[in-house]
Structures are given as C-alpha cells and as structure tokens.
C-alpha cells in the first residue's frame, strides 16, 4: 500500500460514526482525529456524546476534550493543529481516520480553508451582545444588508455561522462571500470519504434514544454546572440551550427534552444538506459489516489512479 490516505467518516448525528471510526482504526492499526466541534471541550462531556473510556481505549484519539470552553478555538486553529498532527501520524502509517459531524471542520482539513482577515475582539463581542439583546433575527437582517449573496446560502438559524460572516463583513468592509472560494487543498494525503447512512426514521429513533440516555447519564446536572458560562460561544448549541431555558423557568423539563430531540433532528437534516454537496462520498449502511467499507477502501488504496 503506497501513499497516505485520510479516511473520513461522516453522517448524521447518532448514526454510529464513533463505532465505525474505531472499527476502521483497529482494522488499519491507526489513530482517529475527531472533527466534532462540540467534542473539543472538556467541560461538555455528556451533551456532546464524547466517546466512552472503553471506546477511547480501543484506538488512539486526538482532539477529544483537549480545550476549555473559556478558550477561543476557531476552525482555523483546528485546521492548523489537525494538519500538523496528520503530518506526524503519516510519518509512521499509511492511513488515518477522521470522524465528525461538523462539516465545516471536515472540509477545512480535507479541502483547505479560505483566508479571512483578522477580526478585532470588540467586533465579535458586539455581535454576541446583539444576539443576546435582540435575538437571531437581528443578525439575519444585518447579514442580509451586508452580504445578501452569502445570506442566500448560509444556515440562517445558526447564530455562530451568522456571527462569523458578520465579523468579516464589519471588520473588512467587504462581503464575507468575497473571501470564499480561494482555498488550496492539502497535497500530502489522498482523501477517501465514507458516509454512514440509515433511513430517516431510524436516524430519528436513534436521536430520541440518545437524548434519553444523555438525560439518564446526568445531562441536566452537566447543564446546571455550565449555566454560569451559558453566554460562551461553545455553549450556543443543542442540548444545552434548551436546558438553560428550563433552568431559567421558561420551559418545563419535559418541554426542554422534547425541544432537544426536535432540534437535534433539525441538526441532522442540516448535516444531510452538507453531505449531499459531496457526491464523492462512498456510502455504507449503518448496520453493515466492517468489511463492506474496508473492501472498498483497500481497492482505492491499491489503485494507481486515486481519482
């Protein structure tokens, strides 16, 4: 087997990506890089479905709970650190596994990242204050004014994406979209993308089961501990925001749990939108044997032309 291969494992939340990544890592005797932007933070264990200790012991993992929620950590930071780690790992092995549900972070490593101007902290803080005072609609209106082109394609319900685009618009005086599309992909590995799929009703059932297991494991208590830090960017995410609403008396607990399930299903649909933009992904059923993926990967790795 020649060359260096980054095997990415993607798919909707709760589909079983962690299990698949571990099986592939054991098959190829290699390591796993997490590209899940929620699992980076050590304070967010239950609500981000961090792999269990038993799972982590089955293969070396990187970028799991390696940061604090109080430390700024951008997709650019992750890209630089991940590419550095990949260079280290590829010095001694031919294949590395990358897994995660955060499409932007997967794309940053495999396809490169656009170069954006530096943003003063004050600009970011002002936008976060605007979100807190006036809600997401204010961000949507502002982005529509400053960059209607990007507004037409961005997930307008994702405040982190809106704030990121507005930061660049306000700091540079130019549309965020004008900086996109100029990236260069890394050239020291071949990317082999795998997607794990299941019928929608199975994905939704697995999501509901996962949320119930999280609640039984102490997600509410975790949210209570994190509540004083609720305004941090890392905590503007499904599973915590709904429980913060419960802790503030805006919802009862049953409503909060139902909203977590509903919003997680919505997140899975957004992941599906990202996945459909990548026709190069090779799909494998969620309940398939490991060999269904490794047979395909072995052929790709032995092929003289990887295109």
Q: Does 104 lie in the same domain as 18? A: yes
Its sign, for the CA torsion 211, 216, 218, 221, is positive
The CB density around residue 213, as the number of other CB atoms within 10 Å, is 12
Provide the pLDDT for residue 76: 87
Residues flagged as binding site for ATP: 11-18
Mean pLDDT, rounded, of the chain: 93
The answer for residues whose C-beta is within 8 angstroms of residue 259's C-beta and 6 or more apart is 242, 245, 251
Provide the pLDDT for residue 185: 83
For 110-151, the pLDDT digits (tens) are: 998 777 888 888 898 899 999 989 999 999 999 999 999 999
How far apart, in whole angstroms, are the C-alpha atoms of residue 167 and residue 75?
A: 14
Is residue 129, in this structure, part of any structural domain at all?
yes
Q: What CATH number does the domain containing 132 carry?
A: 1.10.20.140
pLDDT band (50, 70, 90) for residue 304: low
Q: Does 225 lie in the same domain as 92? A: yes
For 24-70, the pLDDT digits (tens) are: 999 999 999 999 999 999 999 999 999 999 999 999 999 999 999 99
Provide the pLDDT for residue 242: 97
Please determine, for residue 307, whether its predicted confidence score (pLDDT) is greater than 50: no
Provide the pLDDT for residue 72: 83
Work out the average pLDDT over 254-269: 96
Q: Does 41 lie in the same domain as 134? A: no
Is residue 116, in this structure, part of any structural domain at all?
no
How far apart, in whole angstroms, are the C-alpha atoms of residue 32 and residue 18?
A: 10
Residue 92 CB burial class (10 angstroms; 0-12, 13-18, ≥19): exposed
How far apart, in whole angstroms, are the C-alpha atoms of residue 74 and residue 81?
A: 11
How far apart, in whole angstroms, are the C-alpha atoms of residue 7 and residue 10?
A: 10
The answer for residues whose C-beta is within 8 angstroms of residue 302's C-beta and 6 or more apart is 1
Is residue 307, in this structure, part of any structural domain at all?
no
Question: Judging by DSSP bridges, how do beta strands 5-10 and 282-285 pair with one another?
Answer: unpaired
Query: Of 179, 199, 217, which residue sits at a domain end?
Result: 179
Host domain of residue 151:
121-179
Q: Does 195 lie in the same domain as 152? A: no
Provide the pLDDT for residue 296: 96
Is residue 92, in this structure, part of any structural domain at all?
yes
Residue of 182, 31, 164 whose CA lies nearest to 96: 31
Residues flagged as binding site for substrate: 13-18
How far apart, in whole angstroms, are the C-alpha atoms of residue 85 and residue 47?
A: 26
- The CA-based angle 243-245-246, given to 5 degrees, is 65
Q: How many domains does the chain have?
A: 2
Please determine, for residue 1, whether its predicted confidence score (pLDDT) is greater than 60: no
> Tokens 């609609």 appear where?
137
pTM of the model: 0.82
For 195-204, the pLDDT digits (tens) are: 999 999 999 9
Residues flagged as binding site: 11-18
Q: What CATH number does the domain containing 279 carry?
A: 3.40.50.300
Residue 297 structure tokens = 């990967």
């Amino acid at each position: 087997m020649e060359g260096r291969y980054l095997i990415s494992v993607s798919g909707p939340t709760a589909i079983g990506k962690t299990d698949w990544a571990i099986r592939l890592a054991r098959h190829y005797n290699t390591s796993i890089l997490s590209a899940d932007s929620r699992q980076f933070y050590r304070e967010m264990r239950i609500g981000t479905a961090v792999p269990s200790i038993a799972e982590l012991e089955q293969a070396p993992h990187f970028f799991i709970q390696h940061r604090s929620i109080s430390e700024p950590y951008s997709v650019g930071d992750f890209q630089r650190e991940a590419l550095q780690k990949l260079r280290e790992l590829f010095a001694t092995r031919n294949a590395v596994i990358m897994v995660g549900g955060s499409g932007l972070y997967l794309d940053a490593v495999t396809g490169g990242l656009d170069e954006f101007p530096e943003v003063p902290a004050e600009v970011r803080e002002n936008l976060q204050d605007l979100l807190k005072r006036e809600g997401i609609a204010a961000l949507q209106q502002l982005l529509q004014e400053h960059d209607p082109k990007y507004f037409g394609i961005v997930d307008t319900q994702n405040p982190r994406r809106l704030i990121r685009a507005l930061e660049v618009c306000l700091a540079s005086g130019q549309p965020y979209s004008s900086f996109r599309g100029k990236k260069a992909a890394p050239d020291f590995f071949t990317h082999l993308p795998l997607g794990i799929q299941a019928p929608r009703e199975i994905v939704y059932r697995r999501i509901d089961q996962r949320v119930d297991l999280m609640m039984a494991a102490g997600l509410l208590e975790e949210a209570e501990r994190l509540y004083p830090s609720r305004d941090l960017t890392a905590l503007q995410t499904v599973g915590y925001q709904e429980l913060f609403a419960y802790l503030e008396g805006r919802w009862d607990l049953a409503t909060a749990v139902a909203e977590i399930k509903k919003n997680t299903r919505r997140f899975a649909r957004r992941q599906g939108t990202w996945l459909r933009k990548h026709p190069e992904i090779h799909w494998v059923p969620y309940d398939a044997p490991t060999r269904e993926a490794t047979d395909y990967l072995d052929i790709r790795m032995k092929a003289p032309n990887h295109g």
